Amino acid sequence: MNKEKIELNDKTILVTGSAGFIGYYLSKRLLEDLNNVKVIGFDSVNDYYDVSLKNWRLEQLGKYSNFTFIKGNLADKELIKKLFNEYKPSIVVNLAAQAGVRYSIDHPDVYIESNLIGFYNILEACRNNPVEHLVYASSSSVYGGNKKVPFSTDDKVDNPVSLYAATKKSNELLAHCYSKLYNIPSTGLRFFTVYGPAGRPDMAYFGFTNKLIKGETIKIFNYGNCKRDFTYVDDIVEGIIRVMQGAPKKENGEDGLPLPPYAVYNIGNSNPENLLDFVRILQEELIRANVLPEDYDFESHKELVPMQAGDVPVTYADTSALEKDFGFRPSTSLRDGLRKFAEWYKEFYINKNN
């Protein structure tokens, strides 16, 4: 695909969801690596999970003089309009969304508000304040119950198994429509099970650790027969930054009308891990980091349970398009990633409280 090279230095970049896991790491990289960049962070800082973790991330970002934070709701159209008018971002990375597959089953309203209305507001703002590139988070969940693996962006994704997945597929459709109608260069990124230090406490590796520390039992779904393509957060951020610098080119078709400058990529580790292996590596790294004692009885704290609604048995990314267009594929091993998480957890939760 033809790409328009985007220069990130000397630009104003809007990162929505900047108090979130990926948004924090992306903002930090941009602030540290680029010259004369302005990063505008936007987040509602809701209480879906531990707000003190979100506040800690914002405190870290607040140490950079070229970071500006705005607290607000993506569904507030007037606020988004005002933000674009005032700061005129050249590049927008939309990572703000209500996350979580299981939570969407019982709390549909917040997904419609944030993931649909919020994203529509971003698209409208990009339409009325032309940007060089809109990059947005999609999700591996759009593949639903697809049996063919690895998942390719050429696959049909018309059978979501959760509302969360349906909202992410809707984002891709809306972005395509706005790209076609208003010539907005947009790229969607389907992330595969992102993990790492300062991550989301609702994710398995983090939730398991919290439970094991308290001596509670962890539930391993589908009797441990699920496979996940775990992707370390630094790999995700590297992928985002590379994609930000290559917008789909604005070109006309044979009819003389604009072709939509639109693209979608997978970012995953292309190496699905069995959940039981994942739990074994996690427990080894928690012992190594002295988060848990060496004689911890894991077997008595594990329960194998059936598959939960909205879950899928396997996620597996085909990243050949990302590799071809941007020369990058994630490569951090699960053990290395979980080791970094365990060391951070000890520092943040255990050392801090002692």
Element (H, E) at 68: strand 67-71
Q: DSSP string spanning 107-168?
A: -HHHHIIIIIIHHHHHHHHHHHS--SEEEEEEEGGGGTT--SSSB-TTS-----SSHHHHHH
**In angstroms, rounded to a whole number, what is the distance separating the alpha carbons of residues 101 and 310?**
6
**In angstroms, rounded to a whole number, what is the distance separating the alpha carbons of residues 117 and 79?**
13
Residue 89: asked if its preceding bond is cis (omega within 30°), the reply is no
Contact 330, 239 (CB under 8 A): yes
| Tokens 């604009």, located at residue | 258
Q: Which two tokens stand for residue 185?
A: 């260069």
Query: Could you give the 3-state DSSP secondary structure of residue 51?
Result: helix
**In angstroms, rounded to a whole number, what is the distance separating the alpha carbons of residues 77 and 73?**
9
CA distances in angstroms from 317 to 89, 155, 282, 329, listed in the order given: 31, 11, 22, 10
Q: Known catalytic residues?
A: 164
Report helix angle 334-345 to 275-288, nearest 10. 40
